Structure 1
Amino acid sequence: MKFVDGKMKDVNIAYIGGGSRGWAWTFMTDLALDDEISGTIRLYDLDEEAAGVNASIGNHLMSRTDAKGDWKFEVKTSLQEALTGTDFVVISILPGTFDEMESDVHLPERLGIYQSVGDTAGCGGMIRALRTIPMFTEIANAIKEFSPDAWVINYTNPMSLCVKALYEAFPQIKAFGCCHEVFGTQKVLQTVYEKETGEKIEDWHDVFVNVVGINHFTWFTESSYKGKDLFPIYRSYIDKHFDEGVSIESENWLNANFVCKHRVKMDLFNKYGLIAAAGDRHLAEFMPGDQYLKDPETVKSWDFALTSVAWRKDDLVERLDRSKRLASGEEEMKLEPTGEEGILLIKALCGLSRFVSNVNIPNYALQIPNLPANAIVETNAVFSRDSIRPIFAGNIPEDVKALVDPHIKNHERIYRAATTCDKSLVYEAFENDPQFIGKSCTKEDIHTLVDDMIANTIKYLPEGWK
């Protein structure tokens, strides 16, 4: 890549999972709206046909008169071809299919375990990780061989274990995980502030926060807007509106399956005094199973949803149809900001700006001093030319740390299980997962569930499992 007339040109980005019908389109849209960087997107996907369709969609998008961006989309048929000489690597893959995810999410229901997402924490997140970690180990080794100096941006879940796998396989990798959940909570605070004060916040980025925690279980220890502490304002709103919650007009969810009224995070604030900074569907899965996910009626009472895999399958059919319409020109993609920060982070790493955002990276700098150095944590960091510097976030209060600790320990168990094919570690992780708190099941029940869930995903696991 080269800097010409104040712009960065000839940037090469490898997109692993380039046949995506979700994140790839989001990424294309943001690229088309920005004229400060340009170059080539190398789409690599096991589904080469899907990558080809996205190349057609992306190239058509860039040809439009209202597109500022100047990018060429190319399909690559191997990791070597996609990665060699690239400046950035974006990873957004679905580990397995929705058939495997259906088992991840719904099989535990036989033991009274209900999951609102099932891709990060709990039974679903752990089994998903078993098939994901080997994939990320392979990707990390390919990056080490073909593009060791590239910046690597991961969007795949389970985020913490994906990033951990990258660093374990290639310790010198320049990788980080991006997640928009923190942004959503900044928008909640924007809305609460406007309702409580009658004043307008034009840009949610002006809601400053200190972020601590792990992905999808993050917390704000501080938050302010133009010098005003937002904690008392948030508390005042909760005192008056706890039962009705808060609705965010600008929430960037696909549809009602992803919308909540943020009452779980309000309840967590009342209990712990920190602002839980993720969607309620994610937060609930990290908490004991006798609380927000006790049963479907309890979920409904907290005003969030159990997103079924059947719905995801139906939605995929609709997105496949839309993919055909976009590729044929029957439908045009809307060019409007997506709310994601990926392009802003790439521009900062190119040296075009300096930017602060939340990021998932190892706790090597002890940005959260009372969490392990090898844990993948989420805090703010400063992005600048070829550099990410984590911002010291401080300790997590001990009562909240007690909620986080079981998940960090399970990250270690599941990573070791995935790399050694040791089922006993999966048994141990399930036995220690908070989702089983309050459930009347035996150790034998849990082990049988593990056996059946692994059997349902066995074709995506290494030979050692077979």
Structure 2
Amino acid sequence: MKNIKIAYIGGGSKAWARVFMKDLALAEDLSGEIALYDIDLPAAELNRRIGERINAHPNTISKWDYKVYPEIGTALDGADFVICSILPGTFDEMEGDVHLPEEYGIYQSVGDTVGPGGVLRAMRTVPIYEGFAREIKAHCPDAWVINLTNPMTACTKTLYDVFPEIKAFGCCHEVFHAQEFLSCAVHELMGVPRPHRSEIIIDACGVNHFTWITEANYKGTDLLKILPEFIDKFYEQGYCEHVGSQPQEFRDNPFRYGNKVKMDLFRRFGVLAAAGDRHLVEFLNNSWYIKDKADAESWLFHLTTVAYRKQDRLDKIAQSQRIADGEEQIDVSHSDEEVVELMKALLGLIPPKVSNANVVNVGQMPQLPLGSVVETNCVFAHNSLKPVTSKPLPNDVNALVLRNAINIENTYYGIKERDLNRIFEAFINQPLCSSLTVAQGKELFNKMLAATEAYLKDFYPSTRL
């Protein structure tokens, strides 16, 4: 049994923390302390109580010592792993990110990675992550740091830029859903039971939420060669890879979609976009798939409103309280996430494991700038993470990815330099902003800055362009 310390920054997480704690409870070869730190101390305390409920569950194999820390430094002291999972600002700020652009005919289905909402979210997040990197360097410089916060690329870039020796990577499950989509194709076309996604061997590369599968294999079958038949069969009605779900559920559940955008992009480019449609459309010109709400619905995906997120947050807080109070049972079972498995591989407890991760480009994606953060397969082994050199993207796809990668880089360096003019040039060059004039862009940018001013004024000399 390996005894470790995990520092959870954002330990008041309303959903992901529970998933992580349950997976740890089923890790028979791990135990130790989970140090919960959050600026919302009562939320972290609530997760500590939920952790104790998990410890008492009959399915639990590994019990953990949950502790709440009021200071980040003491939470980090001696940590073997650091999990970063925060909400930068509140949903009030995100309301400006997502809905102010609608006044200018710009619609966003997520608003947390790229597009106008992604830029403003990065402006709030990067200064916070600069502080995280400095604290990690001071208190646990040898820890493995796993980032789960969006915008994933900018957060991971910040950690490495402030602390170049850091051992950090960004973890995202969007590629897993694409493997599930491919496993559905195997089932539908080959007449075999739906295989587990781990049996779908892929090569993937790009930037987070805009990653592309250039090769996919199932027991010797080239899945990209048979995919056109699957797409021809389901293109109009859509196909949802979530077990038991139907494409039309997107009308009631904003996290469901019919993969019609993914199928359309495959028809155009011959490689498979790996993220969900809600993310993909935000990396492309707004006239392609998301001119307005009706356009989104015609492509079988939903615009997630911030009002929905606010209500969902209240529901999750209420559920957390019921679980902590013992009024609702918590189901301790394995999730489909891989974070705990990657930790075990890094500790040498299991054989090396290949999974997608976001790390600095040291040549694994030769088509993108060195030093930028890219998402490719990586090999996780004992105290080692090695990126796998990816197959090149087709030139037309690479042009789409490169534009977004450079925008992310320019956004990051503009924030690092606290240069609103440089940030604005990345803002106006967002594909979702392609219908704006420069004057309209500046007007919108200033409105969005004002909406999130409370979270910018301590970091920027001015909050108006």
TM-score range, shorter chain: over 0.9
Q: 1:396 to 1:23 in 2, by over 3 A?
A: same
Q: 3-state SS of the aligned residue for 2:333?
A: coil
Q: Deviations over 1:408-446 (max 9, x none)?
A: 111122112212221111221122111122x2x321110
Of 22, 27, 31, which aligns to 2:20? 27
Change (3 A) 1:110 1:243: same
Determine whether 1:142 maps to 2:113.
no
CA distance in 1, matches of 2:243, 2:46: 29
| Deviation of 1:201 (Å) | 3.7
Q: Contact 2:54 / 2:332 at 8 angstroms: preserved in 1?
A: no
Equivalent residue letter for 2:426? A
Offset of residue 463 of structure 1: 4.3
The residue that corresponds to 1:37 in the other structure is 30
User: Are residues 1:355 and 2:369 paired?
Assistant: no
Counterpart in the other structure of 1:386? 383
Amino acid at match of 1:124: G
The answer to whether residue 445 in structure 2 is matched with residue 450 in structure 1 is: yes
Unaligned runs of 5+ in 2: none
Contact 2:203 2:391 in 1 (8 A): no
- In structure 2, the residue matched to 1:85 is 78
Are the counterparts in 2 of residues 100 and 456 from structure 1 also a CA contact under 8 Å? yes
Task: Please name the residue that 2:162 is paired with.
Answer: 169
> Is contact 1:130–1:417 with CA below 8 Å preserved after alignment?
no
> In the TM superposition, what is the alpha-carbon distance from 1:174 to its structure 2 partner?
0.2
Query: 2:218 maps to what in 1?
Result: 225
**Corresponding position: 1:406 with 2:398:** no
- Residue type matched to 1:357 in 2? S
Given candidates 237, 240, 243, the residue that maps to 1:244 is: 237
For residue 432 of structure 1, what is the aligned residue in structure 2? 429
SS in 2 for 1:15: strand
Provide the rounded CA distance (Å) in 2 between the counterparts of 1:201 and 1:386.
34
Helix, strand or coil at the partner of 2:89: coil
Q: Distance in 2 between matches of 1:426 and 1:356?
A: 35
Identity of aligned residues (%): 45
Q: Which secondary structure does the structure 2 equivalent of 1:290 belong to?
A: helix
Matched to 2:438, the amino acid is K
Find 1:190's aligned residue among 159, 183, 186.
183
| Residue 345 (1) aligns with residue 342 (2) | yes
Distance 2:326 2:193 in 1: 39
- 2:51 pairs with 1:58: yes
**Partner amino acid, structure 2, of 1:232:** K
User: Which of 392, 396, 410 is equivalent to 1:395?
Assistant: 392
**8 Å contact from structure 1 (residues 368, 396) kept in 2:** no
Instruction: Give 1:74 shift.
Output: 0.4
What secondary structure is seen at the aligned counterpart in 2 of 1:305? Answer: coil
Match of 2:418 in 1: 421
CA contact (8 A) 1:369 1:394 kept: no
Code of the aligned partner of 2:20 = F
Within a 5 Å distance, the mapping from 1:282-297 to structure 2 comes to 282-297=279-294
Task: Give the letter aligned to residue 229 of structure 1.
Answer: D
Where does residue 454 of structure 2 map in the other structure?
459
Distance, in Å, in 1 between the alignment partners of 2:116 and 2:88 is 15
The aligned residue for residue 317 of structure 2 is: 320
Contact in 2 for aligned 1:154/1:176 (Cα 8 Å)? yes
* Aligned residue-pair number: 456
Partner of 2:306: 309
Alpha-carbon distance, 1:222 to partner: 0.1
Kindly provide the CA deviation profile for residues 337-385 of structure 1, in whole angstroms up to 9, marking residues without a partner as x.
2100000000000101111100000111x11111111110000011010
CA distance in 1, matches of 2:254, 2:391: 35
The residue number in structure 2 matching 1:100 is: 93
Tell me the CA shift for residue 452 of structure 1.
1.0
Greater Cα offset, 133-142 or 441-450: 441-450
Question: Which one-letter code corresponds to 1:237 in the other structure?
Answer: F
Is the CA contact 1:35–1:70 (under 8 Å) kept in the aligned structure 2?
no
Q: 1:251 offset after TM fit, Å?
A: 8.3
TM-score with structure 2 setting the length = 0.96
Shift in CA distance, 181/157, structure 1 to aligned 2, threshold 3 Å: same
> 1:162-183: per-residue Cα shift (whole Å, max 9, x none)?
0000001000000000000000
C-alpha separation in 2, matches of 1:346 and 1:81: 22
Q: Which residue of 2 aligns with 1:4?
A: none
Question: Partner amino acid for 1:275?
Answer: L
Q: Does residue 11 of the first structure (1) align with residue 4 of the second (2)? A: yes
Give the TM-score taking structure 1 as reference length. 0.96
AA partner of residue 360 (structure 1): N
Superposed CA deviations along residues 52-87 of structure 1, whole A, max 9, x for unmatched, are 010010022112222112211100111110111110
Aligned 1:199-210 pairs, distance under 5 A: 199-210=192-203
Counterpart of 1:208, as a letter, is I
In the alignment, does 2:332 pair up with 1:329? no
Alpha-carbon displacement from aligned partner over 1:263-302 (angstroms, at most 9, x marks no partner): 1000000001101000000001001111111111110000
User: How far apart in 2 are the matches of 1:31 and 1:203?
Assistant: 21
In structure 1, what is the equivalent of residue 270 of structure 2? 273
Report whether the alignment pairs 1:258 with 2:255: yes
Listed as ranges, the gaps of 5+ residues in structure 1 are: 1-6
**Aligned alpha-carbon RMSD (Å):** 1.4
Conserved? CA contact 2:33–2:67, under 8 Å: yes
Equivalent residues of 1:426, 1:450 under 8 A apart: no
Cα deviations by residue, 1:205-231 (Å, 9 ceiling, x for unpaired): 010000110000000000001111111
The CA deviation at 1:244 is 1.2
Q: Deviations over 1:287-329 (max 9, x none)?
A: 1111111111110000000000000001111111101101101
Distance in 1, matches of 2:92 and 2:11, equals 21
